[in-house]
């Protein structure tokens, strides 16, 4: 690994340990798998050096449909462009549709 990549890796690990989860960094280092994920697609992930790994952790929610699933990414981009996701003074069709659907699928109290 080049010095630049090693510096990036060490900085990312230090920041992750300080601001997210120090025990995770210690555990991964001890196991020799202190990788920094750089890119992801489908069932694979790549580290800073470009090495490809198969992601065998399929029990983490979105991972069940693959990393960077193109259909989901496209749907999210469309939603950001078209749906009312803010707290605006007036009513919106999207909020009303969601409220109706939630009322239909949840039990009454």
This prediction has a pTM of: 0.58
Q: What is 68-86 written as a DSSP string?
A: T-HHHHHHHHHHHHHS--S
Q: Using CA atoms, how far apart are residues 26 and 48, in angstroms rounded to an integer?
A: 19
Spatial neighbors of 44 by CB under 8 A, at least 6 apart, are: 52, 53, 54, 55, 67
pLDDT at 59: 55
pLDDT at 60: 62
SS3 at position 109: coil
Kindly report, residue by residue over 13-67, the tens digit of the pLDDT: 999 999 999 999 999 999 998 989 898 888 888 999 899 988 776 556 656 777 7
Spatial neighbors of 19 by CB under 8 A, at least 6 apart, are: none
Average pLDDT over residues 76-105: 84
Q: Using CA atoms, how far apart are residues 52 and 89, in angstroms rounded to an integer?
A: 48
């Amino acid at each position: 690994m080049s010095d630049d990549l090693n510096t990036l890796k060490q900085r990312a690990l230090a920041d992750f340990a300080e601001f997210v989860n120090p025990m995770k960094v210690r555990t991964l280092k001890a196991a020799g798998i202190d990788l920094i994920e750089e890119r992801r697609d489908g069932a694979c992930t790549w580290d800073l050096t470009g090495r490809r790994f198969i992601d065998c952790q399929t029990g983490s929610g979105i991972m069940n449909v693959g990393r960077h699933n193109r259909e989901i990414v496209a749907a999210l981009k469309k939603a950001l462009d078209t749906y009312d996701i803010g707290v605006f003074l007036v009513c919106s069709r999207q909020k009303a549709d969601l409220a109706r659907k939630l009322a239909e699928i949840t039990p009454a109290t």
